[in-house]
Structure 1
């Protein structure tokens, strides 16, 4: 995947989804492999996870995650 591009999605099994994405088994992500996991969040229920995914795909959500990652990666 090109630098500075983010991929946001939901899954119950993160490792299995990452393997499937990187093997090209998922049609929607096949053209953008390989992926490198740099951040994940866990939720107790699917509705909270879906709501946060929707937020992360907005301009404010993208800004939020980029700021959070910048702080984390640069110390």
Structure 2
């Protein structure tokens, strides 16, 4: 089986903002975020993995990451995660 590349979205419990990235190893990358070893999220912990997509190649994953960071990508995520946003956001704080 071919390896996947993952585009993922984290939610920061400290600043209530999203972080979007991509990786080849989702579990290891999330562990790095959680342990404070990723500069961009070090002071935004704790973090919750709220969304991910699997792609068959790195180019598709990076393209998707860039899209999810745009206005339309953020709108897609809010619509896609509507139930999570409505029910869990207030419970996570």
User: TM-score under structure 1 normalisation?
Assistant: 0.87
Structure 1 residue 31, shift from structure 2 partner: 1.1
**Residue-pair matches, total:** 72
| 1:24 alignment partner in structure 2 | 36
Ranges in structure 2 where 5+ consecutive residues have no aligned partner: 1-11, 87-93
Structure having the higher helix fraction is 1
Structure 1 residue 28, shift from structure 2 partner: 1.7
Structure having the higher strand fraction is 2
Structure 1 residue 6, shift from structure 2 partner: 1.1
Structure 1 residue 66, shift from structure 2 partner: 0.7
The alignment yields a C-alpha RMSD, in angstroms, of: 1.3
Ranges in structure 1 where 5+ consecutive residues have no aligned partner: none
Give runs of ≥4 in structure 1 deviating > 2 Å.
none
Query: For 1:1-75, what aligned pairs fall within 5 Å after superposition?
Result: 1=12, 2-3=15-16, 5-70=17-82, 72-73=83-84
Q: Which has the higher contact order (CA 8 A, sep 6+)?
A: 2
